[in-house]
Structure 1
C-alpha cells in the first residue's frame, strides 16, 4: 500500500501573507514535529475541542495533508503563524478558517499560539492578516464566525478587539484533553464579525507593501 505521506503536498494558492514581523504560510511537512509539540501542550489543548494529549504523529501528518488539500480546493485557509524577524522564522502557532456543517454558515476561525510565544501580539496580527485576506479576495463574504469555550477570556477579548460581536450560545462535547465522561458538554460563546463592521472599523485591506506571495482565492 502506498503511504500518501510520501507524495508531494498539493500546491497552495496562497504561499504567504505578511505584515511587519508576522508571516502566515501554508503548512509544510517539516511542521509535523512542531504541530505535535504545540498540540500536545495542555494549555493549548485545553481550549481546543479536538486536541488529544499527546498528539500522535499520524494526526499531525494528516492535518498537514488535509489542510493543503482544502487550500488547493478553495475550501478553507490553514496557516502556520511564523515570526519573519527571527532566525529560521519559527512557527509560533496556527490559524484557520473553514466551513463547518451547513454550507450557508459563515466560515469559522480556529487558532492557537504556543505558550512560549503568547502575549506578544502574534494572535491579533495573524487574525488581522487572515481576515483582511478573506474579505479582500471574496467580495461575497459577508461574515466570519468563531466559537470560544466559556472561561477562555483571552480569546474572547481578542475577538472583541477585532470587532466580533456575540451572536449567541451553544453546547458542544467537552475537549478531548479534559478526559471527561462521555456526553460531557461545555458551553460555547459564538462570535460573528460582519464585513461592514470590519471595513467601518478601518481594519480594511492588507497594504500592497505588506502583501507578499499571495494569489487570490475565491469561493470560500
Structure 2
C-alpha cells in the first residue's frame, strides 16, 4: 500500500477564481455569522445552537489539531478580496484505507455562484492526486438538492442511499453516497 503524501504545512489551493487556505483566528466572525444560517444547521453537523466559542474553536485549535493529527483538513474558501465564502475540506479520513469524505458549507450570500462546485472539486483533486487517497466520498441528504447537484457536476458517482445515516438539526437523515476515484 502506498503511503499518503502529506505536505509539511497545510497548503493553499487554487479553485477556479477562489482560494482555499487554512483557517485563522480572524475568520471567527465570518464562521459565526454563516453558521447561524438554518440551511447550514439543517444539512451539516455544526453544533446547534451555534455559539461564538464554536467559531473560535473551529478556526483555531480544532482545525490546527485536525491538520497536525491528519484526522480532518479544513479550508476557508475566500474570494479575491478575502471574504469568507464557505468551509471546505476532508473529514472522516482513514489513512490506512486511504479513504476520506469531502465536506463543506457555503455562506448564504455566496450561494448560487458555483462556490461549492469549484471548491469541492479542488479539494477532491488535491486529495486524490496530490495526497494519494484512493477514494473520496461525498454524502448528501436525500432532500439536499444543491449538494446532490454539486456531486453530479464534479464527477462523483452515485452509489446508493444510506438510511438514517446522518443527523441534521436533531433529525435523522437518509444520505446519498457518492464517490470519486483517481481514475474517474
Measured against the shorter chain, the TM-score band is 0.7 to 0.9
Q: Which moved more, 1:23-32 or 1:186-195?
A: 186-195
CA RMSD in angstroms comes to 2.1
The TM-score, its normalising length taken from structure 1, stands at 0.72
Pair 1:82 & 2:78 matched: yes
The TM-score, its normalising length taken from structure 2, stands at 0.85
Q: 1:70 to 1:172 in 2, by over 3 A?
A: same
Which residue does the alignment assign to 1:114?
107
Q: What displacement does 1:138 show?
A: 2.6
Q: Is the 8 A contact 2:77 2:84 kept in 1?
A: yes
Structure 1 consecutive aligned stretches of length 4 or more whose deviation exceeds 4 Å: 100-103
Which residue does the alignment assign to 2:180?
193
Which residue does the alignment assign to 1:165?
157
Q: What displacement does 1:104 show?
A: 3.1
- Residues in 2 aligned to 1:164 and 1:186: alpha-carbon distance in whole angstroms: 20
Pair 1:60 & 2:47 matched: no
Structure 2: 5+ residue runs without aligned partners? 1-7
Q: Is the 8 A contact 2:77 2:85 kept in 1?
A: yes
Task: Select the residue among 130, 143, 147 that pairs with 2:123.
Answer: 130
Q: What displacement does 1:103 show?
A: 5.6
Q: Is the 8 A contact 2:94 2:100 kept in 1?
A: no
Q: 1:146 to 1:20 in 2, by over 3 A?
A: closer
Q: Is the 8 A contact 1:40 1:51 kept in 2?
A: no
Indicate the structure whose relative CO is greater, using CA pairs within 8 Å and at least 6 residues apart: 1
Q: What displacement does 1:18 show?
A: 1.7
Structure 1: 5+ residue runs without aligned partners? 1-11, 198-220
User: Higher strand fraction: Structure 1 or Structure 2?
Assistant: 2
Which residue does the alignment assign to 2:38?
42
- Residues in 1 aligned to 2:10 and 2:131: alpha-carbon distance in whole angstroms: 14
